[in-house]
Structure 1
Amino acid sequence: MSKSKTRKTAIILCISIILMLVSAVATMVIQTGGGSITIKELHWETDSGFAMDGWLFIPGGATAENPAPGIVTSHGMYNNKGMQDANFVELARRGYVVLAQDMPSHGESDNVNNVGLVTSGLYQSVKVLADLPYVDKSRIGITGHSMGGMSCNAAIELDNQAEEQLISAVLLNCADATYVDADGAWTNIYGSRDAGIMAAQYDEFFMQDTDENGNTTLPKDYVQYNNAQSFLYFGTDPTGQELRQADTVYYETIDGREAVRVIYNPAITHPWAHFSQRATSAVISFFEETLGAPNPLPADDQIWQVKEAFNLVGLIGFGMFITCFTLLMVKTPFFASLGREEPVAPRTVSGKGKAWFWGSLLLGAIFGSAVYIPIMLNAKTFTVFYDGWPQSSPWGVCLWAAACGLFAILSMVVSYFAFGKKNGLNLKEVGVRISLPQLGKTILLAAIVICVAFGCVFFTDYFFKADFRIWVLAVKTFAVDKVAVAVFPYAVFFLVYYVGNSVALNCFNYNDIGGKHRWINTIIVAVAAVLPAVVLLLMQYLPFFAGGDLMFRDANMQVVWLFPMLVVLPVAAIISRKIYRATNNPYLPGIILGIIVTMISCSNTLTWSPT
Structure 2
Amino acid sequence: MKPLLRRNGFWLALSLVLCLISGIGASFVQTAGGSVTIKDMRWETRSGHLLSALLFKPDSATAERKAPAVVVSHGWYNTREMQDLNFVELARRGYVVVSIDMYGHGNSDYLPEGTEAVGGTGMYDAVRLVSDLPYVDASKIGVSGHSFGARAVNFSVAEDNAAPAPLIAAALLVDNDPTYRDPETKQYANIYGTRDVGLIQAQYDEFFFRSRDADGNVVTVPRDYPSTPNAQSFLHFGADPAQVTDKRVAGQVYDQNGAMRVLYSLNQTHPWGHTSATAADRQIQFFQQALGAPNPIAAGSQVWQFKVAFNTLGLIGFGIFLVAFAQALLGTRAFAGLRNTAVAEAVPTTRKGLAWFWGGLVVAAVVSAFSYVWLSQRVDDFAPAGLPQEAPYFIGLWAAVNGVVGLIIMALAYRLFGRGNGQDLRALGVLPGWRAFFHGIGLALTVVVAAFALVFVVDYFFTTDFRLWVVAVKTFTPDKIGIALLYLPLFLIYFFANSLAINSFNRFTLRGKEGLNTAVLVLFNSLAPLVLVIVQYGTFFVTGDLVDGFGGIYSIWLFPVVVILAVAAVVSRKIYRTTGNPYIGGFINAAVVVLISVTNTLTMA
State the TM-score, normalizing by the size of structure 2: 0.97
Cα offset, 1:40, TM superposition:
0.6
Deviation string 1:9-60 (CA, Å, 9 cap, x unpaired) is 1011101100000000001111111111010111111222210010000001
1:533 and 2:535 equivalent?
no
Q: How far apart are the structure 2 equivalents of 1:433 and 1:413? A: 13
Cα offset, 1:290, TM superposition:
0.3
Structure 1 segment 322-337 matched on structure 2, within 5 A: 322-337=322-337
Cα offset, 1:342, TM superposition:
5.5
Q: How far apart are the structure 1 equivalents of 2:281 and 2:212? A: 29
Specify the alignment match of 2:126 in structure 1. Answer: 125
Specify the alignment match of 1:74 in structure 2. Answer: 73
Cα offset, 1:336, TM superposition:
1.6
Residue 184 of structure 1, aligned match among 186, 192, 214: 186
Structure 1 segment 331-410 matched on structure 2, within 5 A: 331-341=331-341, 344-380=344-380, 387-410=385-408
1:469 and 2:467 equivalent?
yes
Cα offset, 1:241, TM superposition:
2.2
8 Å Cα contact 2:204/2:545 also seen in 1: no
Q: Which residue identity does 2:503 align to in structure 1?
A: N
1:96 and 2:95 equivalent?
yes
Specify the alignment match of 2:197 in structure 1. Answer: 195
8 Å Cα contact 1:172/1:198 also seen in 2: yes
Q: How far apart are the structure 1 equivalents of 2:382 and 2:141? A: 33
Q: How far apart are the structure 2 equivalents of 1:227 and 1:541? A: 25
Q: How far apart are the structure 2 equivalents of 1:285 and 1:553? A: 38
Specify the alignment match of 2:159 in structure 1. Answer: 158
Q: Which residue identity does 2:252 align to in structure 1?
A: T
SS in structure 2 at match of 1:196: strand
8 Å Cα contact 1:381/1:392 also seen in 2: no
Specify the alignment match of 1:244 in structure 2. Answer: 248
Q: Against the structure 1 CA distance between its residues 414 and 212, is the aligned structure 2 distance closer, same or farther, given a 3 Å change threshold?
A: closer
Q: How far apart are the structure 2 equivalents of 1:180 and 1:78? A: 27
* Total equivalences in the alignment: 600
Q: Which residue identity does 1:290 align to in structure 2?
A: A
Q: How far apart are the structure 2 equivalents of 1:447 and 1:215? A: 50
SS in structure 1 at match of 2:348: coil
Cα offset, 1:212, TM superposition:
11
1:514 and 2:511 equivalent?
yes
Deviation string 1:93-143 (CA, Å, 9 cap, x unpaired) is 000000000000100101111243365311101101111011100000000
Specify the alignment match of 1:480 in structure 2. Answer: 478
Cα offset, 1:243, TM superposition:
1.4
Structure 1 segment 532-551 matched on structure 2, within 5 A: 532-551=528-547
Q: Which residue identity does 1:493 align to in structure 2?
A: L
Q: How far apart are the structure 1 equivalents of 2:20 and 2:376? A: 38
Residue 224 of structure 1, aligned match among 222, 227, 241: 227
Q: Which residue identity does 2:202 align to in structure 1?
A: A
Report which stretch shifted further, 143-152 or 241-250: 241-250
SS in structure 1 at match of 2:72: strand
SS in structure 1 at match of 2:211: coil
SS in structure 1 at match of 2:206: coil
Specify the alignment match of 1:49 in structure 2. Answer: 48
Residue 586 of structure 2, aligned match among 582, 586, 590: 590
Q: Against the structure 1 CA distance between its residues 314 and 474, is the aligned structure 2 distance closer, same or farther, given a 3 Å change threshold?
A: same
Specify the alignment match of 1:431 in structure 2. Answer: 429
SS in structure 2 at match of 1:236: coil
Specify the alignment match of 1:10 in structure 2. Answer: 9
Q: How far apart are the structure 2 equivalents of 1:434 and 1:341? A: 15
8 Å Cα contact 2:503/2:582 also seen in 1: yes
1:446 and 2:444 equivalent?
yes
Q: Against the structure 1 CA distance between its residues 381 and 106, is the aligned structure 2 distance closer, same or farther, given a 3 Å change threshold?
A: farther
Q: How far apart are the structure 2 equivalents of 1:110 and 1:393? A: 18
SS in structure 1 at match of 2:70: strand
1:31 and 2:24 equivalent?
no
Q: Which residue identity does 2:556 align to in structure 1?
A: V
8 Å Cα contact 2:199/2:262 also seen in 1: yes
8 Å Cα contact 1:380/1:396 also seen in 2: no
8 Å Cα contact 2:223/2:544 also seen in 1: no
SS in structure 2 at match of 1:466: coil
Specify the alignment match of 1:140 in structure 2. Answer: 141
Q: Which residue identity does 1:234 align to in structure 2?
A: F
Report which stretch shifted further, 47-56 or 135-144: 47-56
Deviation string 1:232-279 (CA, Å, 9 cap, x unpaired) is 0000022352211111111001xxxx0000001110100010110011
State the TM-score, normalizing by the size of structure 1: 0.96
Q: How far apart are the structure 2 equivalents of 1:341 and 1:75? A: 49
Q: How far apart are the structure 1 equivalents of 2:578 and 2:387? A: 38
8 Å Cα contact 1:169/1:193 also seen in 2: yes
Cα offset, 1:67, TM superposition:
0.6
Deviation string 1:120-172 (CA, Å, 9 cap, x unpaired) is 31110110111101110000000000000000000000000000000000000
Deviation string 1:523-557 (CA, Å, 9 cap, x unpaired) is 10111110111111111110111133101455211
Q: Which residue identity does 2:130 align to in structure 1?
A: L
Q: How far apart are the structure 1 equivalents of 2:5 and 2:310? A: 28
Residue 500 of structure 2, aligned match among 503, 507, 511: 503
Specify the alignment match of 1:208 in structure 2. Answer: 210
Q: Against the structure 1 CA distance between its residues 124 and 470, is the aligned structure 2 distance closer, same or farther, given a 3 Å change threshold?
A: same
Q: Which residue identity does 2:493 align to in structure 1?
A: V
Specify the alignment match of 1:173 in structure 2. Answer: 174
Cα offset, 1:6, TM superposition:
1.1
8 Å Cα contact 1:53/1:108 also seen in 2: yes
Q: How far apart are the structure 2 equivalents of 1:382 and 1:391? A: 14
Q: Which residue identity does 1:527 align to in structure 2?
A: L
Q: How far apart are the structure 1 equivalents of 2:222 and 2:159? A: 29
Q: Which residue identity does 2:234 align to in structure 1?
A: F
Q: How far apart are the structure 1 equivalents of 2:485 and 2:381? A: 18
8 Å Cα contact 2:180/2:230 also seen in 1: yes
Deviation string 1:402-450 (CA, Å, 9 cap, x unpaired) is 0011111111111111111011111011110111211121111111100
SS in structure 1 at match of 2:379: coil
Q: Against the structure 1 CA distance between its residues 297 and 343, is the aligned structure 2 distance closer, same or farther, given a 3 Å change threshold?
A: farther
Q: Against the structure 1 CA distance between its residues 206 and 83, is the aligned structure 2 distance closer, same or farther, given a 3 Å change threshold?
A: same
Q: How far apart are the structure 2 equivalents of 1:607 and 1:449? A: 27
8 Å Cα contact 2:315/2:473 also seen in 1: yes
Report which stretch shifted further, 214-223 or 567-576: 214-223
**Percentage of matched positions with identical amino acids:** 44
Q: Which residue identity does 1:30 align to in structure 2?
A: V
Cα offset, 1:308, TM superposition:
0.1
Q: How far apart are the structure 2 equivalents of 1:534 and 1:143? A: 32
Q: How far apart are the structure 2 equivalents of 1:378 and 1:388? A: 18
Q: How far apart are the structure 2 equivalents of 1:345 and 1:106? A: 47
Cα offset, 1:211, TM superposition:
7.6
Q: Which residue identity does 2:402 align to in structure 1?
A: C
8 Å Cα contact 1:361/1:528 also seen in 2: yes
Deviation string 1:332-389 (CA, Å, 9 cap, x unpaired) is 2221221123554113321110000000000000000001022122223999xx9531
- Which ranges of structure 2 fall in alignment gaps of 5 or more residues? none
